[in-house]
Amino acid sequence: MAATDAQFPLPKVLTYPASTPPLLVTQGAEGRLYKTTHLLSDRPCALKYRPPKPYRHPILDSRLTKARISSEAKVLERCWREGVPVPAVYAMDPAAGWMMMEWIDGIPVRVGINKLLGPRPEEEALPETHEALLADLMKRIGAAIGALHKTGVVHGDLTTSNMMLRPRKSGQAGGSTGNEDEGEALNGDVFIIDFGLATQSMSDEDRAVDLYVLERAFASTHPRAEKLFAAVLEAYKETFKKASSVLIKLEDVRMRGRKRSMLG
């Protein structure tokens, strides 16, 4: 979508000359995501912008926006420094409501999985090759979450839309799955994005809730692949040495979830 629509006035930083016009990628309830080359002409980046909210008191609004942008950037920087696969933060102006980060040139994990599964009915069994490809992706997801939790960060909104798959270039180690054509949709490194609800926490409960949110989201978005979710937890356990107590807590969280859904 062209970003010049009068309905969405650009943040000032995107009104300066650049090698390509900014592109509005998504418009959510809280913010917008642009693809832009405003930082360097040959390096696209993602600009997250939280525009002023006319329904909020202006002082409160600017304080909230500033705090949210700063907090998201701080968490991303911490993760990036510790080797968690997240986009690098390039620049920010919290008072103006924006943060510029590395553009992950790939597709959301949700799209990759749906591409592989195709529009088949829910009850149809998965071919073995698909199971293997999905299990491999699940392991990459589990390892990414393990690395995240290891740094003392919980995401707060883990879904397959908040993870991107960046394809590995041919010849790059680990790029081959053995099923090149079919596996293409799921090939690549998993990056976790959207840290708008992330917090710093070392608690088993918070970590377990993070996993539970993903488990529920996965079951409703990809019911045909639900049973493969166990591979996420296996890889999580292999990556994160405090995983055992989190997984015990996860049992409690699931139980509470079941009770809640029985009570309606």
The residues that touch ligand ATP, with contacts defined as CB under 6 A, are 25-26, 28, 30-31, 33, 46, 48, 87, 101-104, 108, 161-162, 193-194, 196
Active-site position among 5, 93, 136, 157? 157
Question: Quick one: 68 or 249, whose CB is closer to ligand ATP?
Answer: 68
Question: Quick one: 27 or 129, whose CB is closer to ligand ATP?
Answer: 27
CA distances from 110 to 116, 140, 163, 246 (A): 10, 14, 8, 25
Give least dist CB 161 to ligand ATP, A: 5
Which residue's CB atom is positioned nearest to ligand ATP?
196
Residue with tokens 């970590």: 207
CA pair distance 79, 189, nearest whole angstrom: 16
Q: Is 39 exposed, middle or buried (0-12, 13-18, 19+ CB in 10 A)?
A: middle
Question: Quick one: 103 or 212, whose CB is closer to ligand ATP?
Answer: 103
CA-nearest of 48, 124, 55 to 91 is 48
Check: CB of residue 75 under 8 Å from CB of residue 198: yes
210 included as an active-site residue:
no
Give least dist CB 176 to ligand ATP, A: 24
Check: CB of residue 33 under 8 Å from CB of residue 46: yes
Give least dist CB 225 to ligand ATP, A: 20
Give least dist CB 40 to ligand ATP, A: 15
Question: Quick one: 110 or 140, whose CB is closer to ligand ATP?
Answer: 110
Hey, what amino acid is at 97? G
Give least dist CB 84 to ligand ATP, A: 14
The dihedral formed by the CA atoms of 50, 35, 148 and 255, expressed in degrees to the nearest 10: 70
Question: Quick one: 52 or 127, whose CB is closer to ligand ATP?
Answer: 52
CA pair distance 255, 230, nearest whole angstrom: 17
Check: CB of residue 98 under 8 Å from CB of residue 69: yes
Indicate which residues carry an active-site annotation.
157
